[in-house]
Amino acid sequence: MKIMLPVSSTVPSQEFLPQLTRRGFLKTGGVLMVSLATPRLTSQASQAVPQRRMPIASWLELHDDGSILVRTGRAEIGTGMSGFYPQIVADELGVRPETISLIMGDTDRTPDGGFSAGFLTGAENLRKVAAYTYQALLRLASEKLHLPVDQLTVSDGVVSGDGRKISYAELVRNQQLDLTIPVSGEAARVDPKSWNGLSGLDGLVVLGNPPMRPMSGYKVVGTSYPMPGIPDKVMGRTQWMCDVALPNMLHARVVRPPTLGSTLIAAGTLDKTKFPNAQVVVKKNLVAVVSPNEWEAISASRAVASTTKWTEWAGLPGSDKLTGFLRSYPWKAPSEGKGSIEETAAALSTSVKQVSAIYEQPFIKHAPISPFVALADVRADGSATVWSHSANLQGLRAQIANTLSISFDKVVMRWLDHAGQFGRTTFGGDGAEGDAAILSQMLHRPVRVQWMLQDDFAWSASSPGWVEEIACGLDANNRITAIKSSFYSCQSNDARIVGAILAGMPTSEPKPGYWIATEWPYDRIPHRREEAYGRPNLGSDAPSGVGMRGLIMRTPGQRQQNFPLESLLNEAAAAAGMDPIAFRLAHTSDQRVIELVQATAKAAEWQPRPSPNPMARSEDGKQLHGRGMCLMIRQNGCWVGIAEIVVTPSTGMIQVTQFTIGADVGKIINPRQLERCMLSGVVMGISEALKEEVTFDTGKITSTNWSGYKILTMAEMPEIKTVQISRDDKGYAGGSEPANAVCPAAIAAAFHDATGIHPRRIPLTPAYVSGLLKTVRTAS
């Protein structure tokens, strides 16, 4: 790949450009290292940054062989960051992406921390790191070539001007150069004042405004650069989290209580004749069995579990009573409210027609394809190394230090690939790391904890169920004048470490609440009032301290709240007798939304007409056909989903036959990786719309394996079409996450199109669908 880049003509903000310092000359080698300074740019920023415990690793290293090492505390979560970051750095620096290697996650080898899913902030950081470095290299080249900076061009890491050239590698040869760039931010820590019990999870932010290239000039960003880790994964060379082993290591299996609230009466005993090398370990309600042999640990833990005695507990409403429980809960003030109560009420009261509904969804699971696993080595000197696949290593580091009551500085987290987890560890917690660290501290040996499938399904946090009341008013021209919505759910921020709770050790302390996650595409709806209510975890008063812990999951909050909003829009369009696309376009002037809706509708061969479908019934009368759409804007991006489905009334089965998804995510970094995220996000979204539901009784989660918690299979996947719009003038947008959230409302609308019935609950299981169809038959 040949990259020709003009030197940016943008007038740089010269308020601050860090200068290179030469630490020394070297006989061999040579490197330019980009490290961090706490900010001195503004008084505000400098006040915001405590000097405590900042990481020290360099951010970027440019070596005299032309290789570049980039470090980021964020980790690959399966959506392509490990490819996007080199692409972004390559374009700002004017090098080929293949010259860039990445270290991710490890807290002792990366500087910044931050959310792995927070791509926008991560990308902006690295873009600035590269831009600062580029400016420093230009100045260095200017000295060497005796040419002013504005006469230089850069191609593939070679600076040229006036017929002369010098490579980046030559610029740094035999020298050790330091470039210190300004950052703000604070180290992660357990913080009782924070809403989720933790602060500093954002990691560091690069300050200042180095001149950056216009995105229209990018050559690497915008191409389908392959994801770097794939060949090793395909060849069996990747070291996964589950593959790490240490000398003297013990395998552990946890013996969890029978309910989420039970406490220990007596731990079971081990038959040493059967399990000669195994040992039972108990700390309050944390019970585990360890052995040098993994299968012995598993077998022995089962034997111990069968004889361990626990108290009984029945503090949950049961999943079949969840909706009634949430509706009858004595809600007080909302956690968050947006918009005018009075103006919205006035507009609703004067509307010609009102449409209102109550929508709901049960608890669902992140459901990684592997139960979580971790390895910890807590040493006698109080230092600890923990191997993890968390998506927020610094946050987890803070939690581990807090639980073990050891210094943050003495905890090192090492990151490895593992099963995708879809937001479960965004706040650092909810893995097996706590169990491993506690057991290792007790046993003075490295301990590897692998949760079994049932442990993971029953004891990990879930994405809580919810109910939303929503209503809109229409005027005489079938325009919506106001929308009022009230969303009710449970807290979704509980990243406490479950092993620490059971062991009675210190944990973070998240607060109940919820938030409004919708972003508003309908600027022509003049009034709206949104409220979000969040009660504590179900069973929050459990004697064990655990209960049904709630956590965010992919497209958090907005995935939930977009379903009622867009479903209501579809109901209102039907009430107005209008085509659902035309109805939406009448309520927005956002050109990005309009263009994407039109492009996606064209790809789906959408024929404008109102729902329901007058031709829904198939020729043989056995099936009903429907189509529906929805849209969403999120994080500077627009998304549109169009579903076509077939309903078989005799069985209640829904098959999505075609799904068309459109995305405008600003400047597309990697069209192919974006397509993969769109395709796979649709699979998860359809899975949520049709299948996923956590069941629980009054004490415990009962859907504890893949036959109890069903997800979409390959045969159930429709043909999926993708539409992408890239824009050079809108910056980056989040592209990896939102695709799942535009499926449920589109599929629900397609169900109404096919049957004339508005479904107000997902998942649309055969039992629920059969019930809906039966109700209508009985009524008619």
Partner 1 sequence: MADQLILNVNGQERSVHATAETPLLYVLRNELHCTGPRYGCGMAQCGACAVLVDGAEVRSCITPVSAMSGKKIVTIEGLPALWAQSKGAAVGAGTLHPVQQAWIDEQVPQCGYCQSGMMIAAVELLAANPTPSVAQIKDAYTNKPPSPHLCRCGTYAAIIRAVQRASTVMTSDGRSS
- Min dist CB 453 to partner 1, Å, is 5
- Min dist CB 103 to partner 1, Å, is 19
The per-residue DSSP string of 45-63 comes to HHHH---TT-----SEEEE
Q: Which is nearer to partner 1, 625 or 672 (CB)?
A: 672
State how far Cα 637 lies from the chain centre: 16
Residue 563: which residues within 8 A CB-CB, separation 6 or more?
A: 359, 361, 744, 745, 748, 762
Q: Which is nearer to partner 1, 69 or 682 (CB)?
A: 682
Helix axes 744-755, 766-779, angle to 10 degrees: 30
Q: Which is nearer to partner 1, 7 or 643 (CB)?
A: 643
- Min dist CB 488 to partner 1, Å, is 28
Please state, in angstroms and rounded to a whole number, the distance separating the CA atoms of residues 34 and 307: 58
Which tokens is 669 given?
Answer: 């970094």
- Min dist CB 470 to partner 1, Å, is 29
Cis, bond preceding 211 (omega within 30 deg of 0): no
- Min dist CB 756 to partner 1, Å, is 31
Q: Which is nearer to partner 1, 250 or 574 (CB)?
A: 250
Please state, in angstroms and rounded to a whole number, the distance separating the CA atoms of residues 374 and 389: 8
Please state, in angstroms and rounded to a whole number, the distance separating the CA atoms of residues 589 and 774: 41
Q: Which is nearer to partner 1, 81 or 140 (CB)?
A: 81
Interface with partner 1 by CB under 8 A: which residues?
Answer: 77-79, 226-227, 229-231, 233-236, 238-240, 242-243, 245, 293-295, 367-371, 417-420, 422, 450, 452-453, 672-673, 676, 679-684, 687, 705-707, 711-717, 720
Quickly tell me which residue has 């003075």 as its tokens: 444
- Min dist CB 78 to partner 1, Å, is 4
CA distances from 188 to 113, 124, 399 (A): 8, 20, 9
- Min dist CB 499 to partner 1, Å, is 19
- Whether residue 391 contacts residue 425, with contact meaning beta carbons closer than 8 Å, is answered with yes
Residue 342: which residues within 8 A CB-CB, separation 6 or more?
A: none
- Min dist CB 228 to partner 1, Å, is 11
Q: Would you say the C-alpha torsion 606, 608, 612, 614 has a positive or negative sign?
A: negative
- Min dist CB 490 to partner 1, Å, is 23
Please state, in angstroms and rounded to a whole number, the distance separating the CA atoms of residues 176 and 21: 9
Give the residue from 610, 629, 585, 340 showing the smallest Cα distance to 479: 585
Q: Which is nearer to partner 1, 413 or 684 (CB)?
A: 684
- Min dist CB 704 to partner 1, Å, is 10
Cis, bond preceding 612 (omega within 30 deg of 0): yes
Q: Which is nearer to partner 1, 335 or 450 (CB)?
A: 450
CA distances from 639 to 214, 600, 635, 701, 740 (A): 25, 9, 11, 34, 10
- Min dist CB 233 to partner 1, Å, is 4
Please state, in angstroms and rounded to a whole number, the distance separating the CA atoms of residues 545 and 78: 33
Q: Can you give the C-alpha Rg of the chain in angstroms?
A: 28
In sequence order, what are the beta bridge partners of 263? none
Which tokens is 431 given?
Answer: 């893995």
Q: Which is nearer to partner 1, 611 or 687 (CB)?
A: 687
- Min dist CB 743 to partner 1, Å, is 11
- Min dist CB 494 to partner 1, Å, is 21
The per-residue DSSP string of 638-675 comes to EEEEEEEEEEETTTTEEEEEEEEEEEE-BS-S-HHHHH
- Min dist CB 776 to partner 1, Å, is 31
Q: Which is nearer to partner 1, 277 or 650 (CB)?
A: 277
DSSP one-letter code for 605 = T
Q: Which is nearer to partner 1, 354 or 370 (CB)?
A: 370
Q: Which is nearer to partner 1, 598 or 657 (CB)?
A: 657
The per-residue DSSP string of 84-100 comes to HHHHHHHHHHTS-GGGE
Please state, in angstroms and rounded to a whole number, the distance separating the CA atoms of residues 666 and 668: 6
Please state, in angstroms and rounded to a whole number, the distance separating the CA atoms of residues 385 and 594: 51
Q: Which is nearer to partner 1, 79 or 259 (CB)?
A: 79
Q: Which is nearer to partner 1, 480 or 684 (CB)?
A: 684
- Whether residue 712 contacts residue 686, with contact meaning beta carbons closer than 8 Å, is answered with yes
Q: Which is nearer to partner 1, 78 or 185 (CB)?
A: 78
Residue 495 half-sphere exposure, CB side, CA atoms within 13 Å? 32
- Min dist CB 418 to partner 1, Å, is 7
Q: Which is nearer to partner 1, 72 or 79 (CB)?
A: 79
Residue 225 half-sphere exposure, CB side, CA atoms within 13 Å? 27
Q: Which is nearer to partner 1, 168 or 659 (CB)?
A: 659
- Min dist CB 87 to partner 1, Å, is 14
Please, which contacts does 705-711 make with residues 24 or more away whose CB atoms are closer than 8 Å?
Answer: 705/453, 705/454, 705/457, 706/453, 708/457, 709/365, 709/367, 709/457, 711/367, 711/687
